[in-house]
Amino acid sequence: MTISYDIGGYGPVTLTDGAADERVMREAIDQAQLARDRDEVPVGAVVVLKGAIIGRGFNQPISGNDPTAHAEIVALRDAAATVGNYRLTGAELFVTVEPCLMCAGAVVHARIGRLLYGAPEPKAGAVRSAMQVLDDPALNHRVEVVTGVLEEECRELMQAFFTERRA
């Protein structure tokens, strides 16, 4: 299958699924770098609907004094404002690191169709690692999950950040 993405700053591209996913994940990595530049944990997220980026976000709980200002939440809020509806049915959420419990819940409530993340989060990852929240049969919405998109780049960004902080 071929997908066309209009990813602002990079221009429209038509690629196969894997290449398109990587291209959008690079945009999420750029968002993560914005967080890192502000001394926030470097997590970035991008929401895509019908081939267009409709939301972007990076971690900002410290600078915003907001414990909910994770990259995913910021990107989902941006996307919801763009389309005028909190339900983002059929949208894809790209995030550099596996979402936590709060963000996984937001994915369900936003009706995200496809979640793609780079690096697993062994301690707090709520999608596949520490918990498997999206697989709970009590949920009224199912999300397709794709793991490991540019995993090494996403992992290295996090590891470098924490190595610098502990030095």
So which residues are the catalytic ones? 72
Residue 111, Ramachandran bin (φ over 0: left; ψ between -120 and 50: alpha; else beta): left
What letter does residue 60 receive in the DSSP assignment? Answer: -
Contact 71, 57 (CB under 8 A): yes
| Distance from chain centroid for Cα 161 | 18
Contact 48, 91 (CB under 8 A): yes
